[in-house]
C-alpha cells in the first residue's frame, strides 16, 4: 500500500522565548498546555474526541518524563485519551507527526493532536560523578565520626563545578563532539566562510522581521505567566543584526580556528508547537477545513560527525519517489541549527562528488533556489527549542505556502546523532 496522505487541520505554537542563562518563565508542560488550549478551543470537536496525543520532547523534566500524558490530561482530554512522548533529538516534534500519521494510516486513530516542546532554559545542572560518589559515601556513613571523616574529604570545587546538562545533551556520545563542532566540520568540508555564515544569519533575522511586520506568524498564540505578563512574539529576533556586528563575536566551538559563533547558530530557546492531524473520514465527520496534507515523509542516517547534512539524505529519496527536482518545490523549510549546516546542505546537493559517493546519484542534484528557502526566517533568528522545531517548520511551511498561493513544500531537519527527517506537504485546494 502506498503512502496515504494525512490532513493537517490546524496548528498553533507559542512564541519562542530565548534562554537567558536562567530558567525561563514557563516549564515545558506550561508551554504545551497554553498553546494546546488555544488551538483546541477553536475546534468543532472536544478534546475528549481526540484519539491520542503525541508530544515530542528532547529534555523533559524529571517530574514530567511522559510529558505527553501530563499535557493531555491538563488539556482536558480525559482519562481515556492516550498521551505519550517521543524523542528523536532535534526532530522530536516531527517524529510526533510521523507517529500520528502512521496510526492514522493503519486505522488505529482518526484525529490526533501531535507536536513538540522543550524548555531548554530549564535544563538541569548536574553533580559530577565525583560529587555523586561523595554523597553515596555520606549516606553509607553510620556514625557521626564516619560522617565527619567523609565531610572532611569534600572539596569545594566539586560543589562549585556543576555539569551543564544542556551541554551534555548537545554532545554526541559516540564521537565526543558538540553539535556546533559538527557544524565546523561542514564549514571546512565545503569551504564555507565566516562571512557567508554571518550574512546568512543576518538574512534570517531580516526575513523574520519582515514576516512579523507582515502578519505572517499568525500561528503564534500568546503566553501569559503567573503574574499576568503577556509574551506575544518571538523575543530572539534582532532588528540590529548586521554582518559587522556578528563579525565581532568569537568562535565558540573551535576557539582557535573556528567559524561558528553564537550569532550564526540557532538560539537556546523555550517553545511549543502543535498540529491537529486527521484522516479523510475525520475531516468529513467534523466538517473540517484543513490547511493542507502531509503527502510523504522520510528518515535517514549518516555519519554523526556530519549530522548537519541529514536534510540532504532524508529529502533526496522523497524527491526521487515523486520524480521532483529541487526547483520543483515551491517553498523549503530547512531548520537552521547552524548557518554552516544549512549552507552545507545546499553545497552537498550542488556537489557531484557528494551526490555520487554519498547519495548514489549519477551527478549533482542541483541548486536549491535561495528565494524559496526559509522565506520567513529560521531558527538562527526565531530559536530552536529542540523538541518543537520539527513541528514548527511543518506548520509554518503550510502557512507560508498558503500566503504565497503555492502548492508544494518540503520541511526538513538535521538530527543530533547523525540523522535527518523530511516531510513533503501540499496545501488544500
Helix (H) or strand (E) holding 56: strand 52-56
Q: Is 414 considered catalytic here?
A: yes
Residue 399 annotated as catalytic? no
Comparing CA positions, the residue from 340, 385, 404 lying closest to residue 235 is 385
Query: Does residue 57 carry a catalytic annotation?
Result: no
The residues facing 277 across adjacent strands are 8, 112
| Grid cell for residue 309 | 547534512
- Interatomic CA distance for residues 185 and 305, integer angstroms: 7
Paired strand residues for 159: none
Instruction: Report the C-alpha gap between 87 and 253 in whole angstroms.
Output: 25
Which SS3 state, helix, strand or coil, does residue 133 take?
A: helix
122, 205, 313, 384: which one is catalytic? 384
Provide CB contacts within 8 A for 388, sequence distance 6+: 13, 16, 56, 92, 93, 115, 116, 117, 118, 271, 272, 273
What kind and span of H or E run contains 427?
strand 419-427
Q: What is the dihedral of CA 243, 246, 250, 254, to 10 degrees?
A: -70
Helix axes 28-40, 67-74, angle to 10 degrees: 40
Find the catalytic residue in 90, 355, 396, 399: 90
Residue pointed to by grid coordinates 554526541: 172
- Count of residues in the chain: 429
Which of these is catalytic: 77, 345, 355, 414? 414
Q: Which DSSP helix (H) or strand (E) runs through 408?
A: strand 408-415
- Give how far the C-alpha of residue 420 lies from the chain's centroid of Cα atoms, to the nearest Å: 12
- Asked whether the beta carbons of 81 and 36 are under 8 A apart, the reply is no
Q: Quote the strand ranges of 201-285, DSSP E.
A: 223-224, 230-231, 269-278
CB atoms within 10 A of CB 336: 30
Widest pairwise Cα distance in the chain: 78
* Residues noted as catalytic: 90, 384, 414
Amino acid at each position: 500500500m502506498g503512502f496515504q496522505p494525512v490532513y493537517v487541520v490546524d496548528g498553533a505554537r507559542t512564541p519562542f522565548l530565548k534562554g537567558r542563562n536562567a530558567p525561563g518563565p514557563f516549564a515545558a508542560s506550561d508551554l504545551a498546555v497554553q498553546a494546546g488550549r488555544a488551538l483546541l478551543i477553536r475546534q468543532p470537536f472536544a478534546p475528549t474526541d481526540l484519539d491520542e496525543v503525541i508530544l515530542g520532547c528532547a529534555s523533559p523534566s524529571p517530574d514530567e518524563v511522559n510529558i505527553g500524558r501530563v499535557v493531555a490530561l491538563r488539556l482536558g482530554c480525559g482519562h481515556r485519551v492516550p498521551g505519550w512522548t517521543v524523542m528523536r533529538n532535534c526532530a522530536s516534534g516531527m517524529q510526533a507527526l510521523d507517529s500520528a500519521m502512521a496510526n492514522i494510516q493503519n486505522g488505529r486513530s482518526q484525529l490526533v493532536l501531535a507536536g513538540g516542546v522543550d524548555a531548554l532554559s530549564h535544563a538541569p545542572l548536574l553533580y559530577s560523578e565525583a560529587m555523586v560518589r561523595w554523597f553515596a559515601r555520606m549516606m553509607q556513613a553510620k556514625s557521626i565520626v564516619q560522617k565527619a571523616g567523609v565531610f572532611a574529604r569534600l572539596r569545594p570545587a566539586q560543589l562549585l563545578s556543576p555539569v551543564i546538562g544542556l551541554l551534555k545533551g548537545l554532545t554526541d556520545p559516540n564521537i565526543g563532539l558538540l553539535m556546533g563542532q559538527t557544524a565546523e566540520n561542514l564549514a571546512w568540508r565545503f569551504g564555507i566562510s565566516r562571512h557567508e555564515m554571518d550574512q546568512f544569519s543576518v538574512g534570517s533575522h531580516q526575513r523574520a522581521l519582515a514576516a512579523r511586520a507582515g502578519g505572517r506568524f499568525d500561528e503564534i498564540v500568546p503566553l501569559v505567566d503567573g503574574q499576568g505578563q503577556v509574551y506575544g512574539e518571538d523575543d530572539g529576533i534582532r532588528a540590529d543584526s548586521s554582518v559587522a556586528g556578528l563579525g565581532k563575536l568569537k568562535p565558540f566551538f573551535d576557539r582557535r580556528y573556528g567559524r561558528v559563533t553564537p550569532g550564526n547558530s540557532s538560539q537556546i530557546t523555550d517553545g511549543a508547537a502543535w498540529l491537529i492531524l486527521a484522516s479523510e473520514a475525520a475531516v468529513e465527520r467534523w466538517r473540517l477545513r484543513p490547511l493542507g496534507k502531509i503527502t510523504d515523509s522520510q528518515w535517514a542516517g549518516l555519519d554523526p560527525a556530519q549530522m548537519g547534512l541529514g536534510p540532504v539524505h532524508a529529502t533526496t529519496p522523497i524527491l526521487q519517489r515523486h520524480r521532483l527536482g529541487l526547483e520543483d518545490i515551491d517553498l523549503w523549510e530547512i531548520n537552521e541549527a547552524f548557518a554552516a549546516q544549512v549552507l552545507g546542505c545546499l553545497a552537498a546537493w550542488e556537489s557531484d562528488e557528494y551526490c555520487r559517493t554519498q547519495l548514489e546519484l549519477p551527478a549533482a542534484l542541483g541548486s536549491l533556489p535561495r528565494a524559496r528557502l526559509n522565506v520567513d526566517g529560521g531558527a538562527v533568528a526565531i530559536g530552536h527549542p529542540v523538541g518543537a522545531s520539527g513541528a514548527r517548520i511543518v506548520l509554518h511551511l503550510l502557512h507560508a505556502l498558503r500566503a504565497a498561493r503555492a502548492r508544494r513544500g518540503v520541511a526538513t531537519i538535521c538530527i543530533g546523532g547523525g540523522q535527518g527527517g523530511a516531510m513533503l506537504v501540499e496545501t488544500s485546494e
